[in-house]
Amino acid sequence: MGLLDQSPVQKSLRPSRSLQELWSQIIGGSAPVHFIIAFFVGVVAGLGAVLFRKLIAFFHNLFFFGHFSFAYDTLQFTATSPWGIWILLAPAIGSLGVAWMVQNFAPEARGHGVPEVMDAIYYQRGFMRPQVVIVKAIASALNIGSGGSVGREGPIIQMGAAFAANLSRWLRLEEWQRYALIAAGAGGGIAATFNTPIGGVLFAIELMMPEISARTLVPVMITTGTATYISRFFLGNHPSFIIPALHIAGTAHTSPEMFAAYLLLGIAIGLCAWLFMRSIYWFEDMFDALPGNYYSRHFSGMVVVGAIIFLVDYFYGHYYVEGVGYATVQAVLNTQLVFPGLLVLLALLKLLVTSLTLGSGGSGGTFSPSLFIGATLGGTFAIIGHYLDPTLDLNVMTAAALGMAGMVGAGTGAAMTGAVMIFEMTGDYNIVIPLIIVVSVAYGVRRLITPDTIYTIKLIRRKHYVPESRQSNLYLSLPVSSFIDTPFIRLDIQSRWSPNRLQRLHLGKMPHILVESSQHIMGVIPASTLAEHPSELPLDLKKHLQTEWIIVSEQAEIVDLLIKIRYSKANIFIISKGESPSPEDVSAILAWNDVAPGVGLAGRLRGEENV
């Protein structure tokens, strides 16, 4: 059972009626056909990842060297541009093209992509506009290729998901199939990018899927496996980063001293993940407050980014923080960067240029910057740790890999994905226990500071809440009667009472009020409203009356409430014996806070604030 029910298909996406009927007869709940579609989505996701890399290479060579070429090894540092100081304008010029495309064709292509996919699943019923695929690809490739500090994973995730969403809607698949394919497209995109098929499956499970069952999980596995194979066919079967297994095996110990070191590293990475998350949205608020328009704000932000990458190259010999930054990550893993001061500086600069790029309105992901910051901070931790305690057998390569996993797991909330992806990249089982420790601690530290992730913060700012326990159907199957804890009383609309007196009459618990007149329900005043006006005498019933409510039966379950509230603005549930009750038929009243403290699960799904 999925969380959301089936929605009508937009006419612009509908095939002819005869084709609809034929397709309905073909699928008819048939799993093999669904799996064939998942295979096709995997092929497109894999090809999309390959073409997107080529597009980034094209823009990178054009902006930095002025020639047309699709050859670009992201693990090698970019040579100094012949433009000299004028290279600082490359990101700014690229930003104008990004702003034009996003502003005119697909505003949802702005940002890092994953929140838009989650929003489509939980608030748009799986609808993503077709143009997102093309606009996101070009805009993000332009942003990255011209020097903007963003990742290529978020765009590929959004592109794969958008293709799957439109294909499934055009074929009129059932809603659970549509959501499964969107998650599959997203997982396939990240699997093809990093050559980590298991990590892609876990990413879809942890962040995308509102339902986990064999019927939804198998399509995701098919898509991620297919996308990974396509990527390997064109790009080669090698990990995104080269991490020799022998070095991991020799240093990934679990002695008491090393266990303590992993704990400290996890704490440090968790704090940095929180700082990175907040920095992006702090810069976004800052740029939104600046005078001008989207073009001028993004241009000004990218001028600063251009100036930073020029200065870094001028003083340190490489554009360390431009683009996806994979060359810097590989240099840390190769122990070519071993000066802690430089590593900390690069981590801070990467945080700054990423925040400038996305905060000013850029298009790209946060995965790559997270890996960059995690690698540099992990390497710094190993170097300083060895300086303080020469017996500490933790080398830079191992600590960098652990830092990468911790940053991804803590920042995105996909802890298993972060750990498993690094494990797939190393291929060495010796790193598993250190990975579990660092990722778990980093995630826990960030979770102690805030329950929000780098993705959900963006949704919350739109008042779109995604439940943390996305795949839990146990909660949804509970009867509404199990949440009835607040008493209610019936009052005539002409009654004169104070909230404090009502509270005393009910043993210190503020009740809900069912307001009636001439044996008709006029509305409800929830207990939370009474608590805000405890001394109002007399209580103005008409002033505080809520006249919209939802009637549910005594046998209803929480899932029934979710179905009803998707099409209603009501915040009150009247539990009744009949469908159109008189006041005598009402047995209980529920408000959001009765269903869950703060913002209820239903409110999170619909995007309502606490009432």
- DSSP per-residue letters across 60-125: HHHHHHSS------TTSPPPPPTTGGGGGGHHHHHHHHHHHHHHHH-GGGSB-SHHHHHHHHHTST
Two domains, one topology: 11-235 and 480-606: no
The CATH fold of domain 480-606 = CBS-domain (3.10.580)
More confident: 455 or 392: 455
DSSP for residue 30: -
- CATH architecture assignment, domain 245-460: Orthogonal Bundle (1.10)
User: In this structure, which amino acid lies at residue 270?
Assistant: G
The CATH fold of domain 11-235 = Clc chloride channel (1.10.3080)
Q: CA 150 to CA 144: how far, in whole Å?
A: 6
Q: CA 241 to CA 159: how far, in whole Å?
A: 23
> In this structure, what are the phi and psi dihedrals at residue 461, rounded to the nearest 5 degrees?
-65, -20
Q: In which band, very low, low, confident or very high, does the pLDDT at 335 lie, cut at 50, 70 and 90?
A: confident
pLDDT tens column, 317-331: 999 999 898 999 999
pLDDT tens column, 118-174: 888 887 878 888 888 888 889 999 999 999 999 888 888 889 899 999 888 888 887
pLDDT tens column, 585-603: 888 888 766 765 433 333 4
pTM, entire model: 0.76
**Which pLDDT value is given to residue 381?**
94
Average pLDDT over the chain reads 82
User: Is pLDDT of 104 > 70?
Assistant: yes
User: Is pLDDT of 310 > 90?
Assistant: yes
Closest CA relative to residue 594, chosen from 454, 443, 484: 484
Q: In which band, very low, low, confident or very high, does the pLDDT at 29 lie, cut at 50, 70 and 90?
A: very low
Worst-scoring range by mean pLDDT, 29-38, 64-73, 340-349, 443-452?
A: 29-38
User: Is pLDDT of 25 > 60?
Assistant: no
Q: In which band, very low, low, confident or very high, does the pLDDT at 580 lie, cut at 50, 70 and 90?
A: low
Neighbours of 124 (CB within 10 A): 16
Q: CA 561 to CA 575: how far, in whole Å?
A: 11
Which residue ranges make up each domain of the chain? 11-235, 245-460, 480-606
